[in-house]
Structures are given as C-alpha cells and as structure tokens.
Chains A and B, each alone.
Chain A
Amino acid sequence: METSATRYARQIALPGFGRTSQERLRAARVLVIGAGGLGSSVIPALAAAGVGTIVIVDDDTVELSNLHRQHIHGLADVGCPKARSAADAVAGIDPSVAVGVHEVRLTAANALALFADVDLVIDGSDNFATRYLANDAAAITGIPLVWGAVSQYAGQAGVAWAEKGPQYRDLFPSPPPPGSVLSCEAGGVLPTVCSVVGSIMATEAIKIITGIGTPLIGRVTTFDALTGGFRELAYGRDPNGTPIDALIDYELFCGTAPTPDTITVAELASELEAGAAITLLDVREQWEADIASLPGSLLIPLGSLESAIRDLRSAESVVIYCHLGARSARALETLKNNGFTTARHLDGGIDAWSRLIDPDMRRY
C-alpha cells in the first residue's frame, strides 16, 4: 500500500481525484482492441495509471514498419504477436497489473463474451468491420466504448455509451464503400498523431472509470497535426437509426468479405427473390437495353463506366451484366480497381437469363 501510495502520489494529489479514484482504477477491467498505434499509446498509459486489469485483443504480429508509431513494441518484438508484446510492456511498467492476452481477431463470435467480462472497452482497431462490431457489442452489453481513429495527419476520438448518448453509428450510419477510406498502410500516418489520439482515449477511459470530468459523449474531438489545432463536433442520436439488438456479419456489412467474382443466373434469381439489396449494373449500349433488360437495372455503357463510377455510391452489392458476359468481366475489373471489392458479374449475361430464367425475355 505504501509503494502504491508513492507510485500514484501525483495523481492522488489532484483535486477531485484522491484515493477513491485510485481504488476505482485498480478495480477496473478494461478491454483494449488493437495493440497497434493507438494501443501503443493507450495500454502503457492505463497500466501506469493503475488500471487493475487490462485485456488485449489483437491477431497481428509486429512488423518493422510498425515501429515508428507503435512504441509499445521494439526491434526484438518484430515477428512476435502484438498482444503478447504489449503484455510484456505492461509487466515492465507494473507486474501487479493483471493482463489478459487474446491473440485473435475480435469477431461477432467472441466479442460479447469478451465485452461481458470488462467494465470498459477501448477501440483502437484499424478497420471498419471491427469498429462497427465494437460499437454494437458495446451497445448490446451496455458497456462504455472509447473509440479513436487516425489517418495521415489527423485523428478523431469519442465515447459511445448507449444508455447515455449517441454511438458511433449515429455519426457514421453506414460503412464507407470498401477502399474509399485510406488505411495507414495506403495513406500513411504521422506517428505522433497516434500518441495524441491514444492519450485522449486513455484520458476518457480514466475519466469514465473514476467519474471525474465530462466524457466525450455526444461529441467528437478532432485533431489536426498540421495546424496543431483541436476542433469539436457535437452530435445527437440518428432518429432513423435502427436499434442494435444482435451482432451481424461485419465483413459483409462493410463489404470486405471475400466473395466470388461471378454469379450464375440461378443464384442471381434466388438472391433477388429473397429481397437482397443488389444494384444491377447493365454495361451494354442503350439499343441493347431497349431490346431487353433486367428490371431495375442501372445502365452505364462500358465506355462511360470509368467517368460514371462516382455515381455508384451505394453500399449495396453490385452485379454487373452485359449480353454474354465478356464486357461485364472487364467492367468488374474497373469496379474492383475502384474499391468495389464485392462486385460480381453475371455468368453468361442476359442471354443466359433469357434462356434459363425468363423464356419470355427477347433474345438477340
């Protein structure tokens, strides 16, 4: 007790903090998703401040290109699981902190059990599927979620706590089209932006656990390293948002699940009959569409596709078709290069449809 009184003396001395706050930190169990750039800032801060239990979930291994921003890992950790490397760092700061290590990806199958076992979750993940999963699992379990994200020279952070205010989904109701938002790999990131945003996240966690201050509920704070400025954005619940009562397939939701490139006419017919949200993209010419087309198709002739691709901003899955399947295969390439990773094209084109599904359809 004497040692811990000394260790935490400078924060216990804070007005409004005291021994009670310190005891709350010691009793707290925190789950940290991601031991990358944000986790590198968050995890040591929580361990040093005296959080009693830190559970780390990350399925990645340390790479040399991580070290500029992921300071929790060192050169000797390259090739090692990040979760284990981060746990070692915690032990170095304070071996009395209990650490849980999960060298797995957070998924809809394991999230609720992991969340139910902690008091607070911190999301420093690097992809939208995990971000929406973390938001929904937090809403279902009623646990506060501190989230943060970085890109290039900027970062943003907030708190989603279903019973007290709006959530991540109230800010971003649907995920961006796959490939439309830069990852750290593709766009780069200034390492110190991770430190700044991670520090804000750890601060929010400490505030929520101890009950001091006003958490970032219903507010996002944004940081721009190039101006050195912070700006805040207040937001409320989305009146059209649907209640979250179950987890879904987040890779599918975010359009990042691996999918086959082609779809048969029989598969398309059954998906349409089941009411699947599918954008049918017809890449033939107008005169061909005048002869026959699938109901509800969007006609963009192959030659105009590149310039019109911006109009395809739907999160729905896209099925491309043409007369026999050759032009749609080329269109598929174009779409995939523009981030539509789940787009498919119709095997055999509309000709196969008229032969196998709808014999009344005119052939040409």
Chain B
Amino acid sequence: MADDVRVRYFAAAAEAAGREEETLGAVPTVGELRAVLLARYGDAMARVLASGSFLVDGVVSRDDSRALGSRVDVLPPFAGG
C-alpha cells in the first residue's frame, strides 16, 4: 500500500480540480495518479494533463511507471507574454 501523497494543483489544474491541493491515498505511480485525476475531474483535467507537468517531490516525471513520493505538483505551462 502506497503512502499518502499530497497533490498540489496550479492554475488550470486547480480550476479543473476545484481545489488547490488534496491528499490522496493508495496511488502508487504517476500513471495511476493520472488515471485517478481523469476519473475524478474529467475533460477539464484531461486538457491540463495533455500539456502540464507532474513534478514528483520537485522532479519532473517523464515516466508513468514512476513511483510517487510525498508530494506531486501539477503545473501547466503558459505561452502568453
């Protein structure tokens, strides 16, 4: 059983989730976190995750099989200037 993970949502991710952060239990990997977020928050979150980064304890994840740590930040990139 994986430990609890604190998930922080930024910008459009926070809008999609309706909250700035939450604690989730029993989510062992980045891929499973992605699936949980899609199931909970639907299309709005899908749009964020299409371009946003998962930072696991401050290190960007490129691999869905990566184990989660104690904190995940979901950060979308912005283009505008």
Residues of A within 8 A of B (CB): 34, 36-39, 123-128, 131, 148-151, 154-156, 170-173, 175-177, 180-184, 187, 189, 194, 220, 222, 224, 231, 233-240, 310, 313
Contact = CB atoms under 8 A, between A and B. Distances in A.
A172 B75 CA distance: 9
B78 A155 contact: yes
B81 A173 contact: no
- Interface of B, secondary structure class, is mixed
Interface string B40-79: 0000001100110101001110100000000001011111
A236 B76 contact: no
B75 A177 contact: no
B18 interface: no
B20 interface: yes
A125 B75 CA distance: 19
Given A310-B46, A310-B50, A181 B79 contact: yes
A171 B11 contact: no
Contacts of A155: 78
Nearest to A237: B59
A150 B78 contact: yes
Contacts of B59: 235-239
Contacts of B60: 170-173, 235, 238
B71 to A, nearest CB: 9
A335 to B, nearest CB: 14
B77 A234 contact: no
Contact of A176 (B8, B14, B46, B50): B50
Contact of A233 (B8, B51, B78): B8
Given A222-B11, A233-B10, A177 B58 contact: no
Contacts of B81: 34, 36-39, 123-126, 148-150, 184, 194
Interface size class of B (residues with CB under 8 A): 20 to 34
A182 B79 contact: yes
Q: Which of B11, B59, B60, B80: most chain A Cβ within 10 A?
A: B80
Contacts, number: 107
Contacts of A194: 81
Interface centre among A181, A189, A238 (most CB of B within 10 A): A181
**Closest 7 CB pairs between A and B?**
A176-B51, A149-B78, A151-B78, A184-B80, A126-B81, A124-B81, A154-B11
Contacts of A173: 53, 60, 62
10 contacts: A149-B80, A150-B78, A154-B78, A156-B75, A171-B53, A181-B76, A183-B80, A235-B55, A235-B73, A310-B46
Interface in B1-47: 8, 10-12, 14, 20, 46-47
Given A233-B8, A310-B50, A313-B50, A176 B55 contact: no
Contacts of A313: 50
Nearest to A198: B81
B10 A231 contact: yes
B67 to A, nearest CB: 14
A236 B58 contact: yes
Contacts of B78: 149-151, 154-156, 181
Nearest to B60: A238
A123 B78 CA distance: 13
Contacts of B46: 310
A127 B80 CA distance: 7
Contact of B20 (A126, A180, A231): A231
Contacts of A184: 79-81
A138 to B, nearest CB: 16
A220 B75 contact: yes
B79 A149 contact: yes
Contacts of B20: 231
